[in-house]
């Protein structure tokens, strides 16, 4: 069904609003049929990127091409895109089926074609029995499914999803994102997903682009983004991370008594002191040891994983273990910590509240969940 | 001890109940008074207009007053003016407001301020100014009855503007517009198929307000020497007060019926709008 999916390319896109530069010489290419997620904090320019690609905004400089054709100044309706917004985008005066059929009606398809296609698509999103309902009678999740079906009805070459799940409950969100992935694979449409939810991006995207300050910080597979982030910002944005003091030595850094390679030689600070290694909670090994430096402060069950909070040198570190392994630890126990991997991301010491309040640290901050 | 502690509670409860009952009485009294003050003149004018001393209920005063006049023409004139000014206002304001909301939302504050100016400028000043200018610039213009249309569009601007603006604000215009555009619709298709159906209520409301205002407008028409229905009513009232009272009663009744009809049609459907649940 890989019918019409197109390659999408943005080159050197710059966009400013009232003197503020929102997109800064951005380059982005989507391979035909792939689902690429743009991830970033609010104001990083991810939605503007989508709007530029959709034609809802005109870039100050740069080109947009879809399927090899320059579309930089083409109107929205000529781009062959399907759009799904955060919410409230269904036409309130039309039933679900009419909403889905709208694009075909505009294109002049016959009534029988429209009805058949709308039925088919509503079936695909699992809403056949709600075809006659109006948007106001549907739940938020159902509305977004209809919006997705409506966007797909015109067989777009590119599907643009602008935070489609942000307005939904957590449970619906998880369910629907899997649904989106299934439908996207089935339709084989090149898709750009904009989201601020790192879990959403990591779970369903083929590739993830992390944005900051109008540029793409790192573009890669979810695995690369999570396990081998290029910068401290990405590491902290896409998941929980511990900042552990590190000292520079020849050939790397020493962290918790282990020599590690620096995984980001380009962006690592050159200073020899005031360094921190960024290590994910599941990348720390925890062992019971009578003379260990760490003390177990508290344990937090997170389902299959348990987070063990360990006080170490005035810091509170989080170690994630499979829950059955965590059973052998209990609060106040002395433990030793060591990194599981051979490389770590290095950053200069951040001035987090933890460091500026040395007197208060461990027990208070473990309640605040400093890295949760 | 327990009894003592309970005592204030009980008396509080009693007090609260009497307060509620007292509030009810006051409320009912105020509403009753307002209704009496509102309906008394109406009923009185009806009673005055539709009776003759010694004869009881009678349509004679009305019939006498209307005999030999061309009320039908006046009514038609006013109806034409109402329809034309309403259509004119909508044709002018709907695209303008949509454009402002879509492309220049910053200007909305300014235009909203601008739209109240007709309230501030009295009709007499408007007419005097326009009269001076147009009698020089286009002498033929003010002679035509339809020269009233632009004046009425200005006079109804505050009401029509507000009604339409509120309607546009109640839908997520930008998103709906973008969604429709991405599905291949040209601007006029979006306007016709998506925006106007969702503005139905506010369009009807704006039309009603505009019509009601034109149906009752006297000052401008009289000053410009045009014969509309309100002008006619005042003329009749000068020597046939009973007929004028009867006519004004009928006019109010008809306006109300129109209002009731429109508000029933434009009542928001429960199915028309909803958020994520």
List per-block mean pLDDT (blocks of 10 residues) for chain B, which spans 277 residues: 43 52 86 93 88 80 77 87 95 95 92 89 84 82 87 92 94 92 92 93 89 87 86 84 85 83 62 39
The answer to whether residue B17 is domain-embedded is no
The answer to whether residue A368 is domain-embedded is no
| pLDDT at site A220 | 94
The answer to whether residue A289 is domain-embedded is yes
The answer to whether residue A1 is domain-embedded is no
* Interface with A, mutate which of B169, B179, B201 (most A CBs under 10 A): B179
Q: Which of A227, A257, A273 is the last residue of a domain?
A: A227
Q: Are residues A121 and A179 part of one domain?
A: yes
| pLDDT at site B134 | 83
Q: How far apart are CA A372 and CA A370, in angstroms?
A: 6
Residue of B nearest to A104 (CA): B183
A92 to B178: CB separation less than 8 angstroms, yes or no: no
Q: Are residues A321 and A185 part of one domain?
A: no
The answer to whether residue A329 is domain-embedded is yes
A102 to B193: CB separation less than 8 angstroms, yes or no: yes
Q: Are residues B81 and B195 part of one domain?
A: yes
> Which of A99, A97, A141 has the alpha carbon at shortest distance from A122?
A97
The answer to whether residue B83 is domain-embedded is yes
Q: Are residues B163 and B237 part of one domain?
A: no
Q: Are residues A308 and A175 part of one domain?
A: no
Instruction: Tally the domains of chain B.
Output: 2
Mean pLDDT of A205-223: 93
| pLDDT at site B9 | 44
A151 to B182: CB separation less than 8 angstroms, yes or no: yes
Query: What CATH code is carried by the domain that includes residue A329?
Result: 2.40.50.140
Q: Are residues B210 and B89 part of one domain?
A: yes
Of B189, B272, B275, the CB nearest to A93: B272
| pLDDT at site B17 | 54
Residues of B in contact with A83 (CB under 8 A): 178-179, 182
Q: Are residues B215 and B262 part of one domain?
A: no
The answer to whether residue B19 is domain-embedded is no
Q: Are residues A103 and A222 part of one domain?
A: yes
Residues of B in contact with A89 (CB under 8 A): 172, 175-176, 178-179
Q: Are residues B165 and B95 part of one domain?
A: yes
Half-sphere exposure of A295 (CA within 13 A, CB side): 9
Band (A368; pLDDT cuts 50, 70, 90):
very low
Q: How far B170 CA sits from the closest chain A CA (Å)?
A: 11
Q: Are residues A160 and A119 part of one domain?
A: yes
pLDDT at A128 over 80: yes
Residues of B in contact with A151 (CB under 8 A): 182-183
Q: Are residues B212 and B116 part of one domain?
A: yes
B179 to A137: CB separation less than 8 angstroms, yes or no: no
Q: How far apart are CA A218 and CA A232, in angstroms?
A: 11
Q: Taking the model in full, what pTM does it have?
A: 0.77
Residues 6+ apart with CB under 8 A from A5: A32, A33, A157, A158, A188, A189, A190
Q: Are residues B130 and B54 part of one domain?
A: no
Q: How does DSSP assign B124-190, residue by residue?
A: HHHHHHHHHHHHHH-TTGGGSGGGHHHHHHHHHHHHHHHHHHHHHHTTTHHHHHHHHHHTT--HHHH
Residue pair A141/A117 in contact by the 8 Å Cβ criterion: no
Inter-CA distances, B153 with A177, A244, B108, B157, Å:
52, 72, 19, 6
| pLDDT at site A131 | 93
B276 to A151: CB separation less than 8 angstroms, yes or no: no
Query: Residue A275 belongs to what domain range?
Result: 240-363
Lowest-confidence pick of A305-314, A354-363, B262-271: A354-363
pLDDT at A94 over 90: yes
Band (A346; pLDDT cuts 50, 70, 90):
confident
User: Quick one: three-class SS letters along B32-87?
Assistant: HHHHHHHHHHHHHHHHHHCEECCCEECCHHHHHHHCCCCHHHHHHHHHHHHHHHHH
Q: Are residues A186 and A284 part of one domain?
A: no
Query: Residue B63 belongs to what domain range?
Result: 38-68+230-266
A93 to B180: CB separation less than 8 angstroms, yes or no: no
Q: How far apart are CA B21 and CA B9, in angstroms?
A: 18
Q: Are residues B216 and B142 part of one domain?
A: yes
Residue pair A168/A136 in contact by the 8 Å Cβ criterion: no
The answer to whether residue B271 is domain-embedded is no
Phi, psi of B143 (to 5 degrees): -70, -35
Q: Are residues B244 and B222 part of one domain?
A: no
Query: What is the torsion angle, in degrees rounded to the nearest 10, for the CA atoms of residue B153, residue B157, residue B160 and residue B161?
Result: 140
Q: Which of A198, A227, A256 is the last residue of a domain?
A: A227
Q: Are residues B165 and B134 part of one domain?
A: yes
Query: What CATH code is carried by the domain that includes residue A71?
Result: 3.40.50.300
B179 to A83: CB separation less than 8 angstroms, yes or no: yes
Q: ipTM more than 0.85?
A: no
Of A90, A93, A139, the CB nearest to B197: A93
Give CA A237 to chain center in angstroms.
Answer: 9
| pLDDT at site B137 | 84
* Interface with B, mutate which of A74, A83, A121, A146 (most B CBs under 10 A): A83
B273 to A106: CB separation less than 8 angstroms, yes or no: no
Q: How far apart are CA A210 and CA A190, in angstroms?
A: 18
pLDDT higher at A348 or B87: B87
The answer to whether residue B213 is domain-embedded is yes
Q: How far apart are CA B242 and CA B68, in angstroms?
A: 17
Helices (H) and strands (E) counted in chain B, each on its own, are 14, 2
Q: Are residues B159 and B250 part of one domain?
A: no
Mean pLDDT of A296-309: 91
Q: Are residues B196 and B127 part of one domain?
A: yes
The answer to whether residue B18 is domain-embedded is no
| pLDDT at site A359 | 37
Lowest-confidence pick of A77-86, A131-140, A346-355: A346-355
H or E element: which one contains B112?
Answer: helix B108-115
Q: How far apart are CA A208 and CA A195, in angstroms?
A: 10
The answer to whether residue B12 is domain-embedded is no
pLDDT in tens, A239-250: 889 999 888 888
Residue pair A55/A99 in contact by the 8 Å Cβ criterion: no
Inter-CA distances, A2 with A148, A173, A184, A185, Å:
18, 26, 10, 9
pLDDT higher at A364 or A230: A230
The answer to whether residue B253 is domain-embedded is yes
Q: How far apart are CA A353 and CA A348, in angstroms?
A: 15
Q: Which of A201, A227, A253 is the last residue of a domain?
A: A227
Across the A:B interface, residue pairs with CB atoms under 8 Å apart total 89
Instruction: Tally the domains of chain A.
Output: 2
| pLDDT at site B8 | 44
Q: Are residues A115 and A22 part of one domain?
A: yes
């Amino acid at each position: 069904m890989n019918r019409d999916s197109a390659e999408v390319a943005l080159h050197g896109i710059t966009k400013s609003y009232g003197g503020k530069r929102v997109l800064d010489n951005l380059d982005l290419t989507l391979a035909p049929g792939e689902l690429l997620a743009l991830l970033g904090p609010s104001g990083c320019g991810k939605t503007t990127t989508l709007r530029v690609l959709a034609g809802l905004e005109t870039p100050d400089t740069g080109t947009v091409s879809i399927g090899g054709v320059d579309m930089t100044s083409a109107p929205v309706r000529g781009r062959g895109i399907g759009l799904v917004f955060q919410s409230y985008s269904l036409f309130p005066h039309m039933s679900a089926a009419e909403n889905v059929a709208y694009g075909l009606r505009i294109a002049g398809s016959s009534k029988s074609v429209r009805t058949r296609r709308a039925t088919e698509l509503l079936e695909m999103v699992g809403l056949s029995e709600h075809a006659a309902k109006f948007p106001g009678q549907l739940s938020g999740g159902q509305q977004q499914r209809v919006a997705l079906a409506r966007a797909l009805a015109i067989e777009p070459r590119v599907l643009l999803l602008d935070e489609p799940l942000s307005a939904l409950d957590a449970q619906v969100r998880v369910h629907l994102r899997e649904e989106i992935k299934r439908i996207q694979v089935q339709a084989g449409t090149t898709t750009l997903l904009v989201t601020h939810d790192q879990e959403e991006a990591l779970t369903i995207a083929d590739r993830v682009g992390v944005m900051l300050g109008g540029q793409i910080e790192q573009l890669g597979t979810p695995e690369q983004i999570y396990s081998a982030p290029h910068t401290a910002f990405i590491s902290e944005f896409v998941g929980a991370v511990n900042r552990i003091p590190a000292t520079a030595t020849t050939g790397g850094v020493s962290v918790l008594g282990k020599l590690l390679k620096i995984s980001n030689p380009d962006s690592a600070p050159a200073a020899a002191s005031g360094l921190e290694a960024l290590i994910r909670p599941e990348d720390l090994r925890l062992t019971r040891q009578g003379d260990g430096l760490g003390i177990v402060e508290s344990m937090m069950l997170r389902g299959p994983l348990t987070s063990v909070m360990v006080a170490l040198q005035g810091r509170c570190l989080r170690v994630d273990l499979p829950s059955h392994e965590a059973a052998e630890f209990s609060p106040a126990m002395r433990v030793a910590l060591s990194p599981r991997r051979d490389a770590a991301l290095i950053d200069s010491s951040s001035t987090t509240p933890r460091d500026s309040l040395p007197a208060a640290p461990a027990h208070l901050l473990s309640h605040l969940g400093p890295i949760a | 001890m327990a009894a003592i502690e309970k005592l204030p509670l009980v008396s509080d409860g009693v007090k609260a109940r009497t307060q509620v009952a007292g509030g009810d009485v006051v409320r009912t009294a105020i509403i009753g008074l307002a209704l009496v003050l509102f309906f008394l003149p109406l009923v009185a004018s009806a009673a005055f207009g539709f009776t003759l001393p010694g004869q009881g209920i009678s349509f004679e005063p009305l019939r006498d007053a209307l005999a030999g006049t061309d009320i039908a023409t006046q009514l038609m004139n006013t109806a034409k003016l109402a329809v034309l000014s309403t259509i004119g206002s909508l044709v002018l304001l709907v695209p303008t407001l949509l454009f402002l909301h879509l492309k220049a939302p910053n200007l909305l504050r300014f235009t909203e301020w601008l739209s109240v100016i007709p309230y501030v400028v009295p009709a007499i000043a408007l007419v005097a100014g326009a009269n001076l200018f147009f009698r020089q610039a286009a002498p033929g213009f003010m002679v035509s009855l339809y020269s009233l249309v632009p004046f009425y569009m200005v006079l109804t601007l505050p009401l029509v503007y507000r009604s339409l603006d509120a309607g546009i604000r109640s839908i997520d215009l930008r998103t709906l517009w973008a969604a429709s555009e991405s599905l291949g619709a040209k601007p006029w298709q979006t306007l016709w198929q998506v925006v106007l159906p969702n503005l139905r209520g506010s369009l009807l409301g704006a039309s009603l307000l505009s019509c009601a205002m034109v149906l009752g407008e006297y000052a401008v028409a009289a000053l410009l020497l045009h014969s509309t229905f309100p002008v006619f009513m005042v003329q009749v009232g000068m020597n046939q007060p009973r007929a004028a009272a009867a006519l004004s009663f009928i006019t109010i009744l008809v306006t109300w019926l129109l209002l009731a009809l429109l508000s029933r049609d434009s009542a928001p459907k429960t199915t028309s709008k909803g958020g994520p649940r």
